[in-house]
Amino acid sequence: MVIPDGRQADPGSTRLRDGWRCPMSVAAKPQAELDQPVVVPEEEFAGLKRTLPSAQHLLFYALAAGFTVYHLIVLNLYPQEALLFRATHVAWAAVLGFALYRPFAAARADRVPWYDWVLIASSLACCAYIYVELEGLLFRAGAIPDPADIVAGLVGTLIVLEFARRTSGVALPIIAGVFILYVFVGPWLPGVLYHRGYEWQRFFPYIYSDLGIFGTTTEASSNFIVLFVAFGAFLQVSKVGDYFNDLAFSLFGWTRGGPAKATVASGVLFGAISGSSVANVVASGAISIPMMRRVGYDRPTAAAVEATSSTGGQITPPVLGAGAFLMAEITGISYGEIAFAAIIPCILFYIACFMHVELHARIHGLRGLPRSELPPLGALLRKAYLFAPIVVMVWTLMQGFSAFRAGTLGIVAAIVVSWLSRDTAIGPRRAMEGLTQAARDCLQLVAVCACAGIIVGVIALTGIGGRFAQLMLALAGEHKLYAMIFAMVIALVLGMGMPTTAAYAIAAAVVAPGLQRIGVPPLVAHMFIFYYAVISSITPPVALASFAAAAIARADPWKTSFISVKMGLATFIVPFMFFYSPLLLGQGQLWPVLQALVSASIGVVLLACATEGWLGGRLNWPLRAIALVAAVCLIAPGTITDLIGLALCAAVWAYARFLRRGAEPA
């Protein structure tokens, strides 16, 4: 089997991280089946990456490290004028993007061709123009632009569209292109789509400014996302990610269906490092999925467990996904408050995942791994100090420090803590790896945020957002639930085939104002949209995380996606519940919040029982339906609904036990 770091596993075993082994066949699987190499799919659109010759590699390696260092210096030591900083942020990332990504699959992957050097030069020229003409651009904002402003705006916009296409696929640039077209054809459109239209000579200087591309979305990527991605990169180069996986397997690998439970626990821990569902799948799936297969999990279920738990990393505090930083910028709510609000939904998500795994293992009689073949828990507990960087970051956020300061202190803590062990020590070489890895991991996010800025700018310019809010008000005139379902569908559709950050950014600009107009609090409205943008990665028909996991497991992508939806069903329901009662976001007095947490936890357990068909015994379809109603009653905050849910739960359990006893031979 091919392990992600390139080493080969020894015959008859799978070697994980620090040298511990697991048997080739715990569940007597055919040897030929298990020895097939695991092909790890490229992360989203990473298949277009280049492998450059040594001279060019060193050049762009240094530029990547410099990109991260530049942000660390500007954000912590020498602040720069906002427009200059964001323009440099996008241009520098575009230079790296055009060098490291091919324009299409058939293009050569061993060098940077002349046309990409032209794009690199154009990116630098547009940025340089902003540096030279900064005062004039600020003075002329909203007025008649100079011809050079028009050229820079047009070229800069095209560069951003191509940058986004290479790193995140065609979906987002196409949507941005439709919005750009809408600017010019608005006078000929009917109803709510009508607007007076704008000349292209005024539009492109407008959109290539802090009102569009360099607006709120790019502010989030330049101020916060880079630092938190760097934090994750330094945790990875210090092998903290490996430590988290080993700890999860040591704690849960020996239990019933242990590798699957370890995968769920690893998703919780690894969520502190990576905010991308597909990145999480690729990082851990090549190891966790074969381990689940060896204890008896079928291919689609093993892939679904990995996809669902990896998706949960984006809703796991303290880092959450990159969209959470954007949420802080748009709403003005502190990042610490957003992270705190995500705690209860995150707990419910992973309780549901854990119960699905437990019930599946119980129903199918699956076992765990022998303790002797798992990493020793004592040795791992002696390395618990590796949690210190996360503790430092959480503490600084709780103390009211800015998010970028918390990220910086987390990076410093990761470096210092790594020196306590020879295996994890970050020296000059690993530090350079961390800096360059952070830059490479940021490229897609920078491109997505810049391209989303085009859409946000068009929405503000044309006023379509306000008219969309009126449409939602009309929908909510009969019932708010209709408007919430409408918002859910939009977020899910936008997230299909598009990174979460972009899906959330567009939905936040189009849908969130309408939700707030019908009386939904800003935090609830944005968290509602964010959650559905996140779980779109496991929602058919385009479920990127599920498809990536299915590729590793060689499973049917559709079966994997539907099992993933079943496992993540609680996440489809919980946002509606915190819409009706923000207690599930930790908003309220302590005791009501604790009651909501306990009852909702029982509810998601019962929801798993209903979907898996087991509660003290096999559940037939009528009992499943009753259990589902009981689960919804328990998830919904409220004493009366809790009592109803508990009564129904007890009745289903008692009747299932009665049926089970009746089926047993005398």
Residue 298, classed as helix, strand or coil, is coil
The residue to which tokens 């569902």 are assigned = 277
Q: DSSP character for 170?
A: S
Please give the radius of gyration of the chain, using alpha carbons only, rounded to the nearest integer.
25
Is the pLDDT assigned to residue 661 strictly greater than 80? no
Confidence of residue 404 (pLDDT cuts 50, 70, 90): confident
- State residue 23 phi and psi, 5-degree precision: -65, 155
Question: What would the pLDDT profile of 89-108 be if each residue is shown by its tens digit?
Answer: 999 999 999 999 999 888 88
Q: Is the pLDDT of residue 498 over 90?
A: no
- Residue 203 CA to residue 157 CA, distance in Å, equals 11
618: helix, strand or coil: strand
What average pLDDT does range 284-295 have in this prediction? 86
What is the band of 360 on the pLDDT scale with cuts at 50, 70, 90? very high
Q: Which range, 111-125, 394-408, 521-535, is most confident?
A: 111-125
Distance of alpha carbon 562 from alpha carbon 578, whole angstroms: 25
The number of beta carbons lying within 10 Å of the beta carbon of residue 138 is 12
Task: Give residue 12's pLDDT.
Answer: 35
Residue 653 has pLDDT above 80, yes or no: yes
| Helix, coil or strand: residue 79 | coil
Contact 241, 352 (CB under 8 A): no
Contact 353, 305 (CB under 8 A): yes
pLDDT in tens, 465-489: 777 777 777 766 667 788 888 888 8
Q: Which residue type, as a one-letter code, is found at position 277?
A: S
Report d(CA 218, CA 216) in Å as an integer. 6
Start-to-end CA distance of the chain, whole Å, equals: 49
Q: By the 8 A CB rule, do 134 and 84 touch?
A: yes
Q: At 223, list the tokens.
A: 């101020």
Selection from 319, 443, 304 nearest residue 360 by Cα: 304
Assess whether pLDDT exceeds 90 at residue 1: no
Indicate if the pLDDT at residue 395 is higher than 90.
Answer: no
121-179 confidence digits (pLDDT tens): 999 999 999 999 998 888 877 677 889 999 999 999 999 999 999 988 888 899 999 99
Using alpha carbons, select from 473, 472, 467 the residue that is nearest to residue 486: 472
Helix H segments across 477-556?
480-495, 500-510, 512-517, 522-535, 544-553
Average pLDDT, the chain: 84
Q: CA 181, 185, 187, 190 torsion: positive or negative?
A: negative
Instruction: Quote the pTM value.
Output: 0.82
Task: Give the pLDDT of residue 34.
Answer: 44
Instruction: Tokens 């790890």: give the residue.
Output: 40
Coil, strand or helix at 642: helix
* Distance set, CA 459 to CA 110, 195, 532 (Å): 40, 11, 21
Q: Which of 118, 198, 196 is nearest to 158 (CA)?
A: 118
pLDDT of residue 205 exceeding 60, the answer is: yes
Query: How does residue 645 score in pLDDT terms, banded at 50, 70 and 90?
Result: very high
| Sign of the alpha-carbon torsion through 179, 185, 190, 196 | positive
What pLDDT was estimated at residue 35? 41
Residue 326 has which token pair?
């954007």
Given this model, what pLDDT does residue 393 score? Answer: 85
The 3 state secondary structure assigned to 330-375 is HHCCCHHHHHHHCHHHHHHHHHHHHHHHHHHHHHHCCCCCCHHHCC
